[in-house]
Amino acid sequence: MAKKRISRRKFLVRGGLGALGVLAVGTYAFRNPLRRSILEMANSIDLPYSGSGMEPMVWFEVTQENNILLHSPKVEMGQGTFTSLAQMAADELEVSLAQIQVVHATTATGSIDALSTGGSTSVSGLWQPLRELAATMREMIKGEAAKKMAIDSTNLQIENGIITAGDISMTYAEAVANVSEWEIPDTPTLKDIKEYKFVGKPLPRIDLEAKVFGDPIFGMDVEMPDMLYGAVVRPDKIGAAMASVDSTKAETMPGVVKVIQEDDFVGVVARSLLEAENAKEALEIEWNVSKDWQTAAIVEMLKVGNGNPMILQKKGGGVEDGEDTISLEFSSPIGAHAQLEPNGVVASVEGDKAIIKISTQVVGITRKEVADRLDLDVENVNVIPTYLGGGFGRRLHTPHAVQAAVMSKAVGRPVKYFFTRKEEFQHDMFRPPTHHMLKGKLTQEGTIDTIQHDFSSGGVAIGSVLLPSAAHAILGADIGAIRGGFCQYGAIPNIRTVTWHVDLPFATSWWRSLGLLANTFAWESFMDELAMKAGRNPVEFRLAHIQDDQAGARLKSVIKAAAERSGYHDTPQNGRAMGFAASTDAGTPCAQVVEVSIEGDEIKVHKVTCAMDPGIAVNPDQVRAQCEGAIIMGMSASLFEKMEVVDGSLTPTIYGPYEMALMRHAPKEIDVVLLQGIDKPGPVGEPPLGPIGAAIANAVFRLTGKRLTAMPLKLS
Amino acid sequence: MNITFHINGSSQTVAIADENTPLLWVVRDLLNLKGTKFGCGKAACGACTLHVDGEAVRSCSYAIKFAEGKHVTTIEGLGTKESPHPVQQAWIAEIVPQCGYCQPGFMMATAALLEKIPNPTDEDIDRNIINVCRCATYYRMRKAIHRAAELNAANVEPESENS
């Protein structure tokens, strides 16, 4: 197993990873069928929906106004899922899109996702089950109408939720009135996709008006009658443990209702938010800190060779060190989620019941956490999700619901509490920093003979609420950190990828696209380097190394489309250079071409061409929106963002010092080309984050001759 | 103490214990207008942008005492679903929002910008629209800002022809 570690010294003496010595200690992931299937699934996610209820009535409600309420088991965090689900349901239900209103299912009223909203799986995972449920519901309503109209149901026509037979008609609302027992028929045959009126159309988001007119739809906007405000103490330093608390002063502060001391947190409840925050500041707390961490120590820990290795891909032989070995190292920093809506929750605990209103990506898990902590029956905890002011993976951990529930129980009133921005930055579940070593050898003909990627990362999935630390013993590799770590060029004869897991002293976890951004940065920068060394055009060079199968064909298609659409050329013109990169994430291939110039010390991105094959685009406009947003978010992470560890604290703790892409950095032109290489929807929200960092670095190389190997990319 | 100011066109008096309470919390928690958002509390992100006497202000860092006698406009007062402001019309036409949380702040900043610079260049937009959007909807926002300027111009032109 992977217990034997390679000491750093030994590693340095070797001058890098040899073909045999280091790899031999790694456990080969693919030997165990369970691991193999889980890891392959992680790399090519095609999860069917695994929700809590599959009865059509749990999903759909017919209102008296003859509209349909769709109780979504997935939350809306900006990704546009509600709109796509409405399109899918409307087409099979035979209603207009305007007749469908999508609401978050609560744990008391609907089917909630057993796991989470994340991983770009909402639309792809619900594609089949939701349409089947909608079609079944339609047939059920039709059956009731047939009974009421005393007509054989095969003679009924339906349009816009109105059932007609000759000159008799009945609305859905009339058909379902007073039905006390439903018959659920066999799943009807779904319509041909060509018959759909809404699926495949670039329709406006159904939440557009609410978001343009400032409707109170977010967790932060929730109020409950008689509500108080809470605040919870968090240490500034990594690993700090509370030694003592003196609440004498805090308890006398204006508006304070109660100071709550639990084994694992100290909180204050007060009449107003500001009073709660002021009282929190007045708590006198001593912290025990065993070590003042610094960035340099984290970077050292993370070097490939220091953690637990696991071989992910093994084809042919590894790279033997020699004169003709080409090698490069890459790194990415700690990244913050920085979503605009801070984490927050309103909890009301009364007797043996709890109501939790919260922006969360893990509705079911949050419910269980609250029930466990307060010793309540799970059925008595109703988690009511709100719209999320950004998710990006941050809200896959929402244990603050438990703290709010504990505080509510202690004061006997509802309690609202949310993080300050400083707490958001210091106590984020960060994107882990990474280190990558790439090695390769070319043949005399200028093709790749051997390629090897060793990459080290803090935990993404391992240690998270969705996958506890024990999972490492089963999986061996972190299914989040390895996203994008695989070699997508299957025609290369010799391939190795090895992942190294490192436990960091602070929490790291899911950040939109997980390992994809950093892994693709390393892979695709190195592919560019090899193409240059081989003296070949990087587009043609990539195409030459892709295998002949469906995944390969789709990857080739997006690469060709991006190159053609952008008019890719390999020589800078008028101070601008193009950069190329491609990735395959969760089965969705994406290629991007950037046009970059350098102005002073600044890397300026003028235009991005993005070709992606997500399969069926249920709402092509929102697929484009996801590409545009992911490209700029990826630019932000690649060019600017970086958390540091200084004297034990994660810093900075505010926007601005935590540098991000703003309006002035956004490309003036983003051209998205959508291809459809499969006949079902694939993941969309994360895949377009892959190529952007490498594409920019590859363009900079053409302008400066300098290979930037560390994110954020800086010229000096 | 009592502070009187105009909010979205009507006069309002609020009783407040601390005159340094940020305008944001008065608007959100006392007046129950939730469209103005809390993002950072340090005027660093712009999610709380509203107008005070027509100027874009980051209300998380604007003490309520300074609002005395002034005209405050929030996203709820910018336009309505029945009668949207040109900026809101443009935001709808370009389908700008994703998560939507920061969007009221951006729309308020844009509306204030267009009052000063009716037809902003890209450079004007870059210099003046400096809020943070994590979904990174900047590409569509820029298009929406130009569209809003066009809508404004179209609204103004017929009047000038009549005069």
pLDDT in tens, A523-540: 999 999 999 999 999 999
Q: How large a percentage of chain B has pLDDT more than 90?
A: 93
> Per-residue pLDDT for A178 more than 90?
no
Q: A376 CB contacts (<8 Å, ≥6 apart)?
A: A352, A353, A354, A370
CA distance A433 to chain B (A): 20
Distance CA A685, CA A121 (A): 9
The residues pairing with A194 across neighbouring beta strands, listed in sequence order, are none
pLDDT-based confidence at A618, cuts 50/70/90? very high
pLDDT of residue A80: 96
- Peptide bond preceding A235 in cis form (omega within 30 of 0): no
Mind listing the pLDDT tens digit for each residue in A473-489? 556 678 888 899 999 99
> Per-residue pLDDT for A19 more than 50?
no
Check B126 against A205: CB less than 8 A apart: no
**Quick check: A109 and A422 in contact, CB under 8 A?**
no
If you measure CA to CA, which chain A residue comes closest to B99? A78
**Quick check: B126 and A664 in contact, CB under 8 A?**
yes
Phi-psi category of residue A120: left, alpha or beta, with phi > 0 → left and psi -120 to 50 → alpha: left
Query: Testing the interface with B: which of A76, A203, A206, A212 to mutate, by most B Cβ within 10 A?
Result: A212
Check A208 against B95: CB less than 8 A apart: yes
**Quick check: A450 and A486 in contact, CB under 8 A?**
no
Radius of gyration of chain B (CA): 16
Q: Count other Cβ atoms within 10 Å, centred on residue B65.
A: 14
Q: Per-residue pLDDT averaged across A238-245, rounded?
A: 94
**A–B: how many Cβ contacts below 8 A?**
171
Residues A131/A136/A137/A143 CA torsion (nearest 10 deg) = 150
CA distance A345 to chain B (A): 14
Check A340 against B18: CB less than 8 A apart: no
Check A628 against B41: CB less than 8 A apart: no
Length of chain A, in residues? 716
Check B135 against A273: CB less than 8 A apart: no
Distance CA A531, CA A552 (A): 19
Distance CA A135, CA A132 (A): 5
Mind listing the pLDDT tens digit for each residue in B129-161? 999 999 999 999 999 999 999 999 998 765 444
Cross-chain CB nearest to A390 (options B92, B101, B131): B101
Judging contacts by C-beta atoms under 8 Å, the chain A residues touching residue B74 are 214
Judging contacts by C-beta atoms under 8 Å, the chain A residues touching residue B97 are 78, 205, 207-208, 211-212
Q: Identify the three-state secondary structure at position A620.
A: helix
The residues pairing with B13 across neighbouring beta strands, listed in sequence order, are B4
Order of strands, edge to edge, in the sheet holding A308-315? A27-28, A308-315, A494-501, A448-457, A434-442, A326-332
Distance CA A355, CA A136 (A): 32
Check A661 against B136: CB less than 8 A apart: yes
Q: Per-residue pLDDT averaged across A70-79, rounded?
A: 93
Distance CA A94, CA A610 (A): 35
pLDDT of residue B64: 98
Q: Count other Cβ atoms within 10 Å, centred on residue A25.
A: 15
Judging contacts by C-beta atoms under 8 Å, the chain A residues touching residue B139 are 628, 632, 666-667, 670
Cross-chain CB nearest to A655 (options B40, B135, B137): B40
Check B122 against A668: CB less than 8 A apart: yes
> Per-residue pLDDT for A418 more than 90?
yes
Between CA A451 and CA A461, with CA A456 as vertex, the angle to 5 degrees is 115
Of A424 and A23, more confident = A424
Task: Give a three-class secondary structure readout of A286-306.
Answer: EEECCCCCCHHHHHHHCCCCC
Q: How large a percentage of chain A has pLDDT more than 70?
A: 90
pLDDT of residue A469: 56
pLDDT of residue A33: 41
pLDDT of residue A3: 29
Extract the tokens encoding A572. 């800078």
Mind listing the pLDDT tens digit for each residue in A356-367? 999 999 999 999
Residue at token pair 């979504």: A72
> Per-residue pLDDT for B10 more than 70?
yes
CA distance B161 to chain A (A): 32
pLDDT of residue A30: 38
**Quick check: A298 and A334 in contact, CB under 8 A?**
yes
Torsion angles phi and psi, residue A428, rounded to 5: -70, 165
Mean pLDDT lowest among A65-74, A581-590, A638-647: A65-74
Check A211 against B103: CB less than 8 A apart: yes
**Quick check: B5 and B12 in contact, CB under 8 A?**
yes
Q: Count other Cβ atoms within 10 Å, centred on residue A643.
A: 24
Cross-chain CB nearest to B139 (options A204, A340, A666): A666
Radius of gyration of chain A (CA): 27
CA distance A77 to chain B (A): 5
Mean pLDDT lowest among A17-31, A385-399, A643-657: A17-31
> Per-residue pLDDT for A605 more than 70?
yes
Q: Identify the three-state secondary structure at position A411.
A: helix
Mean pLDDT lowest among A499-508, A685-694, B91-100: A499-508
pLDDT of residue B19: 96
Closest to A688 in 3D by CA, of A568, A582, A595, A546: A582
Extract the tokens encoding B148. 């809003």
> Per-residue pLDDT for A257 more than 80?
yes
* DSSP, residue by residue, A94-119: T--GGGEEEEEPPTTTS--BSS-S-T
Q: Count other Cβ atoms within 10 Å, centred on residue A1.
A: 9
> Per-residue pLDDT for A15 more than 80?
no
CA distance B156 to chain A (A): 23
Pairing of strands A157-159, A162-165: antiparallel
> Per-residue pLDDT for A9 more than 80?
no
The residues pairing with B55 across neighbouring beta strands, listed in sequence order, are B52
Closest to A715 in 3D by CA, of A634, A574, A603: A603
pLDDT of residue A446: 96
pLDDT-based confidence at A23, cuts 50/70/90? very low
Q: How large a percentage of chain A has pLDDT more than 90?
A: 79
Q: Per-residue pLDDT averaged across A608-614, rounded?
A: 98
> Per-residue pLDDT for A465 more than 80?
no
* Most confidently modeled range among A97-111, A318-332, A570-584: A570-584
Residue at token pair 């998710």: A391
* Most confidently modeled range among A62-71, A131-140, A576-585: A576-585
Q: A408 CB contacts (<8 Å, ≥6 apart)?
A: A347, A348, A349, A354, A414, A415
Percent helix, strand, coil in chain B (nearest 5)? 45, 15, 40
pLDDT of residue A54: 54
pTM score, whole prediction: 0.93
Q: Per-residue pLDDT averaged across A301-321, rounded?
A: 90
